[in-house]
Structure 1
Amino acid sequence: MAASRSRADGLRWTAQGSELFFGVLRALPDERLAGPTALDGWTGRHLLAHVAANADALVNLAHWARTGEETPMYSSPGRRDADIEAGATRPAAELRAWATRSADVLDARLAELDESQWARRVRTAQGRTVPAGEIPWMRAREVMVHAVDLDAGVGFDALPAGFLAALIDDITAKRSGAGDGPALTLTATGHDGAWAVSGAGDPTPVTGSLAGLAAYLSGRRSDGVTAAGDRPAPELPRWL
């Protein structure tokens, strides 16, 4: 089932996700940023550097949309990882300021776009060509999911149901296109959502809450998500 989402949805979810992410961040003491997050191998400093660099990269796409001048998200394929590693060494106060500043600049640049510019085609870091109207969704996905990844008491069940359905739709499409994992049929309890993932073998039925399925598909901790007979859901390859 495809979740319907609009540019307005993306902008609204970006605002809600930013409020959630930065609210959680403000409550975290600096020493917690040096510790682990829900993402293996990443400290809070890595995660914060990533969110800040992501906003800078999306500002590049907004510039591309506004001017027509091709401006990739990152200058080279390895630039994203290098920026995260370098950013993670910055002092906590500097990291916090960078994340806040870059988010504010992105909001301002998106607010400048007119209808023709929103329709201009830009290229994501994964090489997909999409209309600039996808930029708010790309940012919403970052701040919403990484608010959970800070591992500070916010779970997927704190995210809006409409966002979760759109996220599941987005991930199932990507996983089906890659075809490098198991075939699945997904049913959300307490919700009318049902999705399918193309892949290897006969489809495995997987059931869970909307929040649980979003966590499972994105490779996060997913309590209550099971296959038939209360068996564990199949392991999945990396999402992004």
Structure 2
Amino acid sequence: MVARHDLTTDPELLAALLQARRGTAFFARKLNELSDADLDGDSLLPGWTRRHITAHIGYNARAIARLVEWAATGVETPMYPSTEVRDHEIDFGATLSPIALRHLFDHSAVHLNVEWRDLPGDAWHHTVRTIQGREVPATETVWMRSREVWMHAVDLANGAAFGDIPEPVLERLLKDITGAWKTRGTDKDLVLKVTDRNLTFGDTTSESPAIVSGPLAAVVEWAAGRGSGGVTAAGPGRAALNSTVPAAPKWI
């Protein structure tokens, strides 16, 4: 039997798909290391248990698969009817039995992977709409999923760290986060310096910014609101910081 493979031949897209699939495998490994009882434990996200994280990742795969189906058929199939429906779905999913939660993750990941695999090359450029209302090409669904699985693998609080996330994913995460700040104007007088990559983000026109600096993984962890280990702060900026690292502006 001939092996099935991705219909797209775009090398950049294939590389992005590989990154997303590796992230899914990484999440699966961290999830499978947890016992059923461990699922009741707290995640790194306030108010969410590991059950919530697992349900979210499962339903997220289904939602992104709907966007891929939209690109394939031209029939509008939104991710969710509303954010309220999405939140209710996650809360409900968190009440499922451990085996049902694990099946939700496994089956939804396979479904999404098949939708990606079978999407013709030209359909990847068809426009779909995210839950936030952004009009994006179907290629964006790959990044949407990659971001979720890599970062929420850390949120399972099972030993994964931002240092385990591939550098290209970390760099794009940081661009996403700082871009959201810029759009809202919440990066005023704030500059991020990535010391191991010579990268700078934020309000670089400020004459007296607060400067948060550190290695890439640590800066992304801080910017994503997951902790301040490994970063330092200096400069007057919005407050007299001295060595105290401020809380990052809200991202999502």
TM-score range, shorter chain: over 0.9
- Out of 219, 222, 247, the position equivalent to 1:235 is 247
Per the alignment, do residues 63 and 80 of structure 1 end up closer, same or farther by CA in structure 2, a change over 3 Å counting?
same
Task: Identify which range, 42-51 or 222-231, moves more after superposition.
Answer: 222-231
CA-atom RMSD, angstroms? 2.0
2:165 aligned with 1:159, yes or no? yes
Most deviating of 184-193 and 119-128: 184-193
Post-superposition CA distance 1:120-167 (Å, at most 9, x none): 111111111111100000000000000100011110001111111111
Counterpart CA distance in 2 for 1:11 and 1:199 is: 36
Q: CA deviation at 1:10?
A: 2.6
- 8 Å contact 2:130–2:136 — kept in the other structure? yes
C-alpha change, 1:199 and 1:35, in structure 2 (3 Å) is farther
Matched residue SS, 1:187:
strand
1:185 aligns with 2:197: no
Superposed CA deviations along residues 6-58 of structure 1, whole A, max 9, x for unmatched, are 43343122111111100011110011110101111000111100000100100
CA distance in 2, matches of 1:194, 1:176: 14
The answer to whether the 8 Å contact 1:179/1:200 transfers is no
Answer with 209-218 or 179-188: which moved more: 179-188
Which whole-Å CA distance do the structure 2 matches of 1:238 and 1:40 have between them? 14
For 2:35 and 2:210, locate their aligned partners in 1 and report how far apart those are by CA, in whole Å: 43
Confirm or deny: 8 A CA contact 2:82 2:131 kept in the other structure.
no
| Higher relative contact order (CA closer than 8 Å, sequence separation 6+) | 1
SS at match of 1:10: helix
Structure 1 residues 36, 64: closer, same or farther in 2, change over 3 A? same
Cα separation, 2, equivalents of 1:50 and 1:200 = 38
Match of residue 111, structure 1, among 108, 117, 136: 117
What is the CA distance between 1:233 and its match in structure 2?
2.8
In the alignment, is residue 196 of structure 1 matched against residue 202 of structure 2?
yes
Which residue type is aligned with residue 222 of structure 2?
Answer: Y
Distance 2:95 2:155 in 1: 19
The question of whether the paired residues in 1 share the 8 Å contact of 2:67 and 2:77 is answered with: yes
Q: Which residue does 1:3 correspond to in 2? A: none
More strand by share: 1
Distance 1:106 1:201, change over 3 A: farther
Structure 2 SS opposite 1:78: helix
**Secondary structure of the equivalent of 2:193?**
strand
> In structure 1, the residue corresponding to 2:227 is in which secondary structure?
coil
Scaled by the length of structure 1, what TM-score is found? 0.92
Contact map agreement 1:7 1:137 (CA 8 A) in 2? no
Q: Is the 8 A contact 2:127 2:136 kept in 1?
A: yes
Cα drift, residue 74 of structure 1: 0.2
> Which segments of 5 or more consecutive residues in structure 1 lack a partner in the other structure?
1-5
- Residue matched to 1:57: 63
Assess, with a 3 A threshold, how the Cα gap between structure 1 residues 51 and 158 changes in structure 2: closer, same or farther: same
How many residues align? The count is 236
In structure 1, C-alpha distance between the alignment counterparts of 2:57 and 2:18, rounded to whole Å: 18
Q: Percent identical across equivalent pairs? A: 40
Q: Which residue of 2 aligns with 1:134?
A: 140
Q: Distance in 1 between matches of 2:20 and 2:85?
A: 24
Amino acid at match of 2:251: W
CA contact (8 A) 1:172 1:197 kept: no
Aligned letter for 2:246?
A: P
Structure 1 residue 223 corresponds to structure 2 residue 235: no
- The DSSP-based 3-state class of the residue aligned with 1:122 is strand
Number of the residue aligned with 2:153 = 147
Task: Output the amino acid matched with 1:162.
Answer: P
Quote the residue 2:9 is aligned against.
Answer: none
Deviations 1:39-89 (A, max 9, x none): 110001111000001001001100111011111100223111000000000
Aligned to 1:8: 14
